[in-house]
């Protein structure tokens, strides 16, 4: 029986998932929501609704629409950064206490990073 380190287990799990999710990210499609959702469904719906309002307002108020689009994107980036920061802080707290972080928690964290990374590169 071969013992694997947590890093090897994570690499094996994420490598097995890579082809489908990476292809989906490159194609602009979304992979399973559980593995790639970066915001809660309600937040996504609210952001999309706000974006629709901004686009509609462009005809009558183009400058204001661009300013609002900038503010919306800034807020969205702040939320994403906050989510990743909170996740990292939870893991670091566990490590700081000497607690073992489960491979599943690490896999979920790495999967979220990979989804975000692939979306950034697909842009």
Is the model more confident about 46 or about 94? Answer: 46
User: Which domain range does residue 73 map to?
Assistant: 6-122
Residue whose pair of structure tokens reads 């490598």 in the numeric block? 15
Residue 54: what pLDDT? 97
Is residue 68 assigned to a domain?
yes
Is residue 59 assigned to a domain?
yes
Is residue 53 assigned to a domain?
yes
Is the model more confident about 116 or about 3? Answer: 116
Q: Which pTM does this prediction carry?
A: 0.58
User: Whose CA is closest to 81, among 116, 114, 48, 51?
Assistant: 116
Q: Please give the sequence-ordered ranges of beta strands (E in DSSP) within 42-120, or none if there are none.
A: none
Is the model more confident about 51 or about 20? Answer: 51
Is residue 37 assigned to a domain?
yes
Q: How many domains does the chain fold into?
A: 1
**2-16, 35-49, 107-121, range with the lowest pLDDT:** 2-16
Residue 119: what pLDDT? 84
Gap between the Cα atoms of 39 and 106, Å rounded: 18
Is residue 106 assigned to a domain?
yes
Q: Is 82 helix (H, G, I), strand (E, B) or coil?
A: helix
Gap between the Cα atoms of 2 and 66, Å rounded: 57
Is residue 1 assigned to a domain?
no
Q: Could you report the per-residue pLDDT of 28-79, keeping only the tens digit for each?
A: 434 443 445 678 899 999 999 999 999 999 999 999 999 999 999 999 999 9
Percentage of residues in the chain having pLDDT higher than 90:
31
Kindly tell me if the per-residue pLDDT of 93 is higher than 70: yes
């Amino acid at each position: 029986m071969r013992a694997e380190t947590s890093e090897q287990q994570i690499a094996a799990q994420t490598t097995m998932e890579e082809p489908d999710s990476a292809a989906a990210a490159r194609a602009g499609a979304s992979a399973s929501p559980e593995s790639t959702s970066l915001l809660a469904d309600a937040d996504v719906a609210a952001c999309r609704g706000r974006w629709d309002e901004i686009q509609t307002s462009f005809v009558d108020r183009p400058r204001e629409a661009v300013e609002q689009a900038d503010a919306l994107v800034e807020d969205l980036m702040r939320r994403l950064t906050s989510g990743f920061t909170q996740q990292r802080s939870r893991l670091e707290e566990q490590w700081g206490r000497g607690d073992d972080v489960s491979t599943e928690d690490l896999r979920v964290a790495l999967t979220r990073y990979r989804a975000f990374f692939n979306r950034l590169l697909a842009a």
